[in-house]
């Protein structure tokens, strides 16, 4: 009877935690959606009240509207991706070297804009999973390494193949992540510096998406201090078995 009571209490506690997590997620999602909607509503009201508008007013109105719509679209796309991830097939052979090169090329314009230098050194290695999801996860990590870097800073993407796993590391020379926040940054909607991240267009869903993709691929992710200052994210993934 005592062990039954303990199991029951553990189960109720876990259920409570799951409901609480869901409640926090919905609350944060609603809050994030409400802000751009409120900005749009105010702008439309002001525009209507003003009555007559010159080309400069119209242009400013359209700019604000477009920015807020982009923000809402990105948020909805991230939310959909997070909730639909389990339905994505994860059985492709994915070669990491071209995938990471491709992600770096895609983010090259952002790196140029932020004056950040990227170097990629990844040997041939293959994992089993979803190419699209892995691309998305490494894109988020590299985008953050560029976004939160300093001007003239560097980003290094390296991979080391061990017996049955590959460790992909992405290091930057930015502000780094405080030790006590290294678990929280993977929680949905969490940002270390809210106003700075929001200015850069982030809703705080990027790293929780990365964590879910890594978990779906039976991998692990951790964050450490980079040797030259900044952050070092390490993603460990099981290597595909070779038949030889
Ligand atoms: P965001 O959309 O805000 O970038 P993420 O989930 O990708 O959201 O990241 C969560 C928070 O973790 C960011 O707001 C930022 O404060 C911090 N962060 C993520 N990557 C880095 C990094 N490479 N260097 C410093 N801080 C980072």
Cβ(177) – ligand 1 distance below 6 Å = yes
> What is the CA(242)–ligand 1 centre distance, in A?
36
Is 231 touching ligand 1 by the criterion CB < 6 Å? yes
| Pairing of β 165-172 and β 231-238 | antiparallel
Give backbone dihedrals phi and psi of 226, rounded to 5 degrees, phi first.
-75, 150
Q: Name the DSSP letter for residue 1.
A: -
The tens-digit pLDDT sequence of the chain (244 residues) is: 889 899 999 999 889 888 888 888 888 888 889 888 998 999 899 888 887 778 888 898 899 999 999 989 989 988 888 888 888 899 999 999 999 999 999 999 999 999 999 999 999 999 999 999 999 999 999 999 999 999 999 999 999 999 899 999 999 999 899 999 999 999 999 888 876 666 666 788 999 999 999 999 999 999 999 988 899 999 999 999 764 4
Give yes or no for a contact between 156 and 171, defined as CB atoms under 8 angstroms apart: yes
The token pair at 81 is 């991706």
Distance, CA 241 to ligand 1 centroid (Å)? Answer: 33
How many other C-beta atoms are found inside a 10 Å radius of the C-beta of residue 194? 12
57 alpha carbon – ligand 1 mean position (Å)? 34
Whole-prediction pTM = 0.86
Distance CA(32)–CA(40), nearest Å, equals 13
């Amino acid at each position: 009877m005592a062990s039954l009571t303990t199991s029951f209490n553990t189960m109720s506690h876990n259920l409570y935690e799951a409901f609480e997590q869901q409640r926090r997620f919905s609350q944060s999602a609603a809050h994030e959606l409400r802000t751009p909607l409120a900005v749009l509503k105010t702008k439309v009201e002001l525009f209507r009240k003003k009555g007559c508008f010159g080309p400069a007013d119209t242009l400013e109105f359209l700019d604000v509207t477009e920015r807020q719509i982009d923000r809402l679209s990105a948020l909805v796309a991230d939310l959909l991706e997070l909730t639909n991830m389990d339905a994505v097939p994860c059985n492709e052979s994915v070669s990491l070297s071209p995938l990471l090169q491709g992600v770096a090329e895609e983010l090259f314009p952002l790196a140029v804009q932020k004056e950040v230098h990227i170097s990629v050194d990844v040997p041939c290695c293959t994992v089993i999973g979803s190419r699209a999801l892995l691309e998305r996860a490494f894109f988020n990590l590299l985008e953050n390494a560029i976004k939160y870097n300093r001007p003239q800073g560097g980003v290094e993407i390296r991979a080391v193949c061990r017996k049955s796993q590959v460790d992909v590391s992405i290091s930057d020379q930015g502000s780094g992540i405080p030790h006590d926040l290294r678990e929280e940054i993977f929680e949905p909607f969490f940002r270390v510096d809210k106003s700075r991240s929001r200015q850069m267009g982030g809703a705080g869903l990027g790293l929780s998406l990365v964590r879910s993709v890594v978990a779906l691929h039976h991998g692990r992710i951790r964050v450490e201090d980079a040797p030259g200052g900044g952050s070092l994210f390490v993603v460990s993934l099981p290597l595909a078995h070779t038949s030889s």
